[in-house]
Amino acid sequence: MYNQKTIILTDADGLAKNSLAAVLILQISRNEIEALNYTSSLERLMVMADSRENTIRYRESLLIQIAGYDSDPRELAEIPEVRRFFARLVNEWPHWLWFLSREQGTISLFLSLICKIKIHRAQGTYGLEFVQPAELSARIDELLTRGIALFEAFNISPEDAEMSAKSALAAMRMS
């Protein structure tokens, strides 16, 4: 899928000028996270959903890259500042499940940042457990419900919305 798309790492203005299908990388720095400064991230996310064309163009194209924690031994989902940042960002913009890439474990990463998790480590690898399956289900339902406005605004069919939700859940199960 990615070999047919341009990779874009830009600000909101650059993204607004793009007219090509692309893999979008939402890069967020440690400084932004620790200052709870999500303005730049939110601006880029808003451009993705500001028109029917962008909503269709960037469907399932968003990757998340968090910079500045490479030397931290914790997984991102264990870092309170990262979790706080994403909690705020999710409150402002609910359309994650439509836009997040289905590859690279992006959906599982995202959900691990907004739900209670437990990390299981063994021999240099780790696994992720959602501690409260009901919370995970409720967060997914909340995102889907809040996202309906986007589908209605841009006349995205219920079938497309359902297909996207199903592919997000399938991607989560596979990662």
| Percent of residues in the chain assigned helix, strand, coil, to nearest 5 | 55, 15, 25
Residue that has been written with the tokens 């064309």 in this structure: 53
The pairing of beta strand 125-130 with beta strand 62-67: unpaired
pTM beyond cutoff 0.85: yes
Question: Residues 68-104: pLDDT tens digits?
Answer: 999 999 999 999 999 999 999 999 999 999 999 998 8
Report CA-CA distances (Å) from 152 to 51, 162, 170. Answer: 12, 13, 24
What is the residue-wise DSSP string for 106-164? HHHHHHHHHS-EEEEEETTEEEEEES-HHHHHHHHHHHHHHHHHHHHHTT--HHHHHHH
Question: Residues 19-48: pLDDT tens digits?
Answer: 778 888 999 999 999 999 999 999 999 999
